[in-house]
Structure 1
Amino acid sequence: MSDIDIDIDIDIDGAAPAAHGTETGIAPVWLALAALAASFFHQLMLLMPAALVTLAPAAVFDNWLFWGAGVLGFVLMAWLAQPSRHGSTQHLSREQAPRLYARVDEMTDAIGAPRLHAIAIDNSINAGALEENRGVSLRPTRRVLILGLPLLRLLDTAAAEAVIAHELGHFSRRHGRLGHWLYRTRAAWTAWAASVREDEDDSSPWDRAGANFAELFLPWFSRASEAHSRRCEFEADALAAQWASPEALARALLLIEIAVMRQGDASTTLDLDALRASAEPPAQWADEPVQELIARPPTPEEIAEALRHRQPQGSHPPHRQRMEALGVAGESLNLRPPAWEESAAAQWMGGVWPELCQAQGPWAGAAERLSWAMAHAALVGLDADSQPVLSELPELPESSDEAAWRRLHRRQAQAQAAIEHGRVQPCDLAPSQIEALRRAVSVNSTIVQAWLFDVPVEPSTVAIVLRIDPERMIAMKLSLEQVATTLALTMRLVLPTERDWMPRFSYMTEGLPPELQARVDATPRLKG
């Protein structure tokens, strides 16, 4: 093993000394106090109205029964108001992946980190160290290592061990103790400000006061907490390099970054050939980033972009700074992904790999599989020359552009009102596009009836009015929101880029507004 001389001692009682590419920033003890104070203030702002409601009768009648009921009600509401973090991870049992658990246990003991409670997997090209139930919880804290399946396929065992050692370093140095409160405080006030921004006209003065505080507090707090997070990253890098090697960690960082960059560049495209060929989504999705890098090795320009990709102000340092701290020249690394037999996935997961990929794929859920099948049906029968190109998702305004968000909400409200009052027109899509949509909705058995309209708003919007069978929806374990998402891919395939769309749902057990009912009665159905 190669050692590198980066000794960063981050402790709750003092600031970390500077190392290669790090900054001292605010002392963690003061940052922790700021996070706790801001979190307490958030709870106070959040629960003060509840306290007035639950404790007012006790103050008026001054009876111990009222006081007891009021206090219990307030405690219950305070508990329900606690933020939670839910992800799409699946815990692996030791029986499923004994070789992976054995290797991680060996590394954990060697690094001096506390033993993990579980290893979880997801569908990201990433890894993480999660402490479940930390904070205000009656349950004990559980340490969970999260590994993305594409990550395990992308890296050989040496590089994957470097990544795991990095995450174990976070557990070893107890970064989660402060990191939990930093994340919780930042997320709570960000959500408060966002909720007020979405509906400022109907927000109370109390809500707007909290949003004003968030806008003043968050910029400073984000800078301070992100500086602390960057120091933690350098420290975890140093521990990982001591376990594996600086080169293995550097290679893993760049392979992950370039794979994610390419995945981002392809976020608005799709393998239309695979979509046209089968109504079932591909099973080997985790292998796609590897095959892409093998077919098109990283260029010097991509490597340079990966080295500077991360911004200096963020939770992770720029990769060039991390390479400098590791003493590695990123441009000289061999960034060819391993063959399947040499990958961490093959070495550690073995025969359970296909089963895990099927359960964790991006098309694994009922709504996602139905979305693929509907899009496949829409493409069947279209000539190659008229094959649509997947349109880009509309760009949302910047989070700080409140005027743009208000205009967006106003346009959506205008379109919704026009649909409800029947102020719609016959749809002017091409017959081939209408036929493609007809084939798509025929696949979705929860949709019993459907109609297409044009809504006279800007930008030009297509309304699809749908009647849903609630019993079929429940039997397929779908929500109304998930039924809407099953349409999204098809609409992006069929509609021209400049056209927006909006669904209008109702159950078969309920009626439509009279004006809209009159329009659908006079319009040929897309289905039903």
Structure 2
Amino acid sequence: MGTTLRALRALLLLAGFYLLGVVLLALLAGGDYLLYLHAPSSVTVKLTIVSVLLAIPLVRGLFMLRTPRDEETAGLPVTEADEPELWRTVRDLAEQVGTRAPSRIVLTADVNAAVSEDARLLGLLPGPRRLYLGVPLLQGLSEAQLRAVLAHELGHYSNSDTRLAALTVRGRAQVLRTITHFEQRADRTAAREQARQEKKNAKAEAKGKQAKEVDTGHAGVTYRAMAKIYIGYAKLYFRATLAVSRRQEYAADAAAARIVGRDATASALREIPVLDAAFGFYMGSYATLGSDKGLLPPHGEVFGGFARMLTARQLELSGLRTDLPTEPLSPYDSHPPIADRVRRIEELPDDGRADEARGAALDLLSAPERTLAALEDAVLTDEVRRFGRTRDWQELLDRSMAEALAADGTPLHGALRQYTQEQPTLPALLDVIEDGRLWQLAKRLPLSEEAAASEGRVFREFVRPTLHKSLISMALAELNARSLLRWEFSWERSAIPHLPPASDGTETDLDAVVGSAVADAPDTAPLRALLTHHDRSTEV
């Protein structure tokens, strides 16, 4: 479909939104007029008020002609003087694609690349262009793979996809906004009705009467009915526009394969979901390890450590490259399934370009370490930038784990505090266990109705997992406080706690030690031995 036809269809779909609103307003007005002619005055007034309330979101949607400008994506703008090799690569690819190069490149912290254009006259005239490039892609892709990603994005420019996005985005925004107005009004109506019924029940109970079940199913029904009408139009609108969006993705893939090569394009498509999953894991397990304690890794390492984790976990990640998503994320996902896109590219004839540009994409940056540090300053919030910085990752792990273990927030801590009326400590718990009072203490744990009603062995089996898990936390905290615990930082696996060795010199199995303490016939000697290890080790 050519640019003119796509623009015409986008305009018709957008006009359909306004036409739907006008038709619904006309129906409401017609209904009010018929009520005025034929219905009693009291009924007319009530239903006219309802129709006016329904008309408000319709009118607001019709007159919100200007779609709010999207917020600027957080990132680090780089000029040609900052990154000459990156700009040269982008300009070279734009020339091969046959399109105008972007006027601005912004580095982001997302596993994504995207293009935008501030087109005029609803996208009919071109405007300034921007390229958003995620630094995690630079860290995880080869230069050839990155060139394929860039060629794909620039391919959208050559097909006028970015210019016509203004029309499509405006229509989607208007429909969704109107749906939101109706649903919000329905929710507020339901909330008021629930409050009214609860207040009525409270008065009834105060008089000794039985309260009625709160039922808000009828509240806001007219608003929800109007929302459903627009939801139906939204489905039509999204399916019509997204079908074209998916064809545009196939076309951009084909452009990338033509310019950069079949193998580089297919491998880039395989790699991006892997990088996305890996980056999410990295941010959750490494970069934000100390965020709850107000700690960050050294400057430049918030994003800089990702490349090292990728290198260390290559074998672990390799299986993800063959397990590609075969379905879109939703029926309205603008991108076809990755598996289908890869299949189409790999079915192309071999072009003999498998060995081109195999170097790391990060080498395109003039000074990667400096750029990673500048990216932190650009995308982290002011609050996060005020966090303390550690010397290295090992210190971040040590301080984060020490503070986490010092918190006495396990269910066992709470139960022990209630039971002894004292500060919950591991030695105090061991005294309780050795006195044979563990299962009395366990009754103060947060229990399900089934667990609370059980007795004997059944009760013990219900609560034992909670006791076991909480006791491990207490043991680690106590060992850490006595400087008997050492954490091993690793990019290849989760952090490993190193405990004092067992009496025979072998590695201590904390799970077995704790299991003995919460057994039906408890044995606290192994755990006591761990706690006295420091005293034994310092004896002369």
| Alignment TM-score, normalising by the size of structure 2 | 0.52
Q: Distance in 1 between matches of 2:408 and 2:377?
A: 23
Whether 2:3 is the aligned partner of 1:12: answer yes
Match of 1:175 in 2: 161
Match of 2:344 in 1: 325
Aligned-residue offset at 1:161: 0.9
Match of 1:35 in 2: 13
Do the aligned partners of 2:144 and 2:260 also contact (CA within 8 Å) in 1?
yes
Do the aligned partners of 2:126 and 2:163 also contact (CA within 8 Å) in 1?
no
Match of 2:360 in 1: 343
Return the letter of the residue paired with 1:244.
Answer: V
The answer for unaligned runs of 5 or more in structure 1 is: 1-9, 15-27, 49-73, 330-334, 392-429, 433-528
Q: Distance in 1 between matches of 2:170 and 2:373?
A: 31
Aligned-residue offset at 1:82: 2.8
Of residues 301, 306, 316, the one that matches 1:284 is 301
Distance 1:79 1:99, change over 3 A: farther
Deviations 1:84-131 (A, max 9, x none): 111223432222112221221122122211232211221101100111
Return the letter of the residue paired with 2:360.
Answer: S
Distance 1:130 1:276, change over 3 A: closer
Aligned-residue offset at 1:354: 1.7
Equivalent runs, 1:248-259 vs 2, <5 Å? 248-259=264-275
Match of 2:152 in 1: 166
Equivalent runs, 1:360-439 vs 2, <5 Å? 360=376, 364-370=380-386, 383=402, 386=405
Q: Distance in 2 between matches of 1:247 and 1:390?
A: 52
Work out which of the two has the higher radius of gyration on C-alpha atoms and give 1 or 2.
Answer: 2
Distance 1:36 1:162, change over 3 A: same
Q: Distance in 2 between matches of 1:103 and 1:389?
A: 54
Helix, strand or coil: the match of 2:3?
Answer: coil
Match of 1:293 in 2: 310
The answer for unaligned runs of 5 or more in structure 2 is: 27-58, 190-219, 349-353, 390-394, 411-421, 425-540
Whether 2:320 is the aligned partner of 1:302: answer yes
Do the aligned partners of 1:258 and 1:306 also contact (CA within 8 Å) in 2?
no
Return the letter of the residue paired with 1:318.
Answer: P
Of residues 83, 87, 95, the one that matches 2:68 is 83
Aligned residues: 337
Return the letter of the residue paired with 1:32.
Answer: A
Whether 2:137 is the aligned partner of 1:151: answer yes
Q: Distance in 2 between matches of 1:309 and 1:99?
A: 37
Return the letter of the residue paired with 2:324.
Answer: A
Deviations 1:342-392 (A, max 9, x none): 422222x2126524543346962202234678xx99x9597478367999x
Helix, strand or coil: the match of 1:145?
Answer: strand
Q: Distance in 2 between matches of 1:147 and 1:322?
A: 21
Q: Distance in 2 between matches of 1:152 and 1:292?
A: 14
Helix, strand or coil: the match of 1:95?
Answer: coil
Return the letter of the residue paired with 2:157.
Answer: F
Whether 2:241 is the aligned partner of 1:222: answer no
Q: Distance in 1 between matches of 2:423 and 2:16?
A: 58
Distance 1:381 1:275, change over 3 A: closer
Match of 2:173 in 1: 187
Do the aligned partners of 2:106 and 2:130 also contact (CA within 8 Å) in 1?
yes
Helix, strand or coil: the match of 1:113?
Answer: coil
Do the aligned partners of 1:111 and 1:172 also contact (CA within 8 Å) in 2?
yes
Helix, strand or coil: the match of 1:186?
Answer: helix
Equivalent runs, 1:483-522 vs 2, <5 Å? none
Of residues 258, 261, 284, the one that matches 2:277 is 261
Do the aligned partners of 2:122 and 2:164 also contact (CA within 8 Å) in 1?
no
Whether 2:335 is the aligned partner of 1:316: answer yes
Deviations 1:217-248 (A, max 9, x none): 11222222221111000000011111101111
Distance 1:354 1:328, change over 3 A: farther
Return the letter of the residue paired with 1:35.
Answer: L
Deviations 1:252-300 (A, max 9, x none): 1222111112334566545576659983444223344433332222556
Match of 1:491 in 2: none
Q: Distance in 2 between matches of 1:390 and 1:177?
A: 54
Match of 1:233 in 2: 249
Helix, strand or coil: the match of 2:380?
Answer: coil
Distance 1:245 1:207, change over 3 A: same
Return the letter of the residue paired with 1:102.
Answer: R
Do the aligned partners of 2:109 and 2:379 also contact (CA within 8 Å) in 1?
no
Helix, strand or coil: the match of 1:181?
Answer: helix
Helix, strand or coil: the match of 1:294?
Answer: helix
Cα RMSD for the two superposed structures: 4.7
Distance 1:388 1:328, change over 3 A: farther
Return the letter of the residue paired with 1:131.
Answer: E
Aligned-residue offset at 1:188: 2.9
